[in-house]
Amino acid sequence: MKKIIMSVATIVTMSSASFLGIPSKDKAVNNVSFYTGKVAVENIDESANIYEIGFSGNGYYNNGVLAGFSAKIEYVENPYEIVETGIMLGFSERFRLGYSFGKIARGFAVYGLIDLNQMLYTVAEIDEDIGEEEDIGHTAFGFGFGIGAEYVFENGLIISISSGTSEMKNDEDYKFDYEKTIVGIGYYWDRVK
């Protein structure tokens, strides 16, 4: 049910922003943000804390449409119940398309998200050659979608929240859903005047 709601929300948000205006040069902004939140893997009752740092860029159009991209590095704190080990690192790229109600790089905005994710983690496994347990490294890749909102203050401070689900597949062809809900705080270093 959650996937259906997220899909509908993403489609509505992106389709409402389906026509682009003529971009104004002074409406391109960049920021760096720190995020924290929770992640969960399907069929596992536990969730884990996640911390991300990312670079983002938004383009604001004169009809209120915003289009953006972000790249993030993430660390999941002690995800023992998720991957049976104490470390999980990730990289994600996020594309967003939505609407800025102020029609400038200030105020409230909502958007749909498309996520590309990569996870690096280790799992304790029995090495058949030596008969002992050792940590084996794995990777997983996935594609997902979600929704988000942000508020940009006059001084350039950004507060954001987003939620998304990605379908991941690891190097052993095991598939699982990876859900992530995060809040973020950031700041423009090249603000619109």
CA distances from 116 to 27, 60, 142, 178 (A): 26, 23, 6, 12
pLDDT at 107 over 60: yes
Q: What is the per-residue pLDDT across 138-159, written as a single tens digit (0 to 9) for each?
A: 888 999 999 999 998 888 889 9
Average pLDDT of the chain? 78
CA distances from 150 to 21, 51, 98, 172, 179 (A): 21, 18, 11, 37, 19
Q: Residue 61 — left, alpha, or beta (φ > 0 → left; ψ -120 to 50 → alpha)?
A: beta
Copy the structure tokens of residue 29: 């902004």
Does residue 158 form part of some domain? yes
Does residue 149 form part of some domain? yes
Q: Give me the number of domains the chain comprises.
A: 1
Instruction: Say how many Å lie between the first and final Cα of the chain, rounded.
Output: 43
Tell me the mean pLDDT in the region 102-111: 82
Does residue 23 form part of some domain? no
Does residue 59 form part of some domain? yes
Copy the structure tokens of residue 21: 């205006």
CA distance 29 to 27: 6
Does residue 141 form part of some domain? yes
CATH code, 6 = 2.40.160.20
Residue 74 structural domain: 2-17+28-190
Does residue 22 form part of some domain? no
Does residue 38 form part of some domain? yes
Q: What is the per-residue pLDDT across 32-79, written as a single tens digit (0 to 9) for each?
A: 888 888 887 776 667 778 889 999 888 888 778 888 899 999 888 765
User: What is the share, in percent, of the chain residues with pLDDT greater than 70?
Assistant: 75
| Type and span of the H or E element at 80 | helix 80-83
Q: What is the per-residue pLDDT across 19-34, written as a single tens digit (0 to 9) for each?
A: 555 555 446 777 888 8
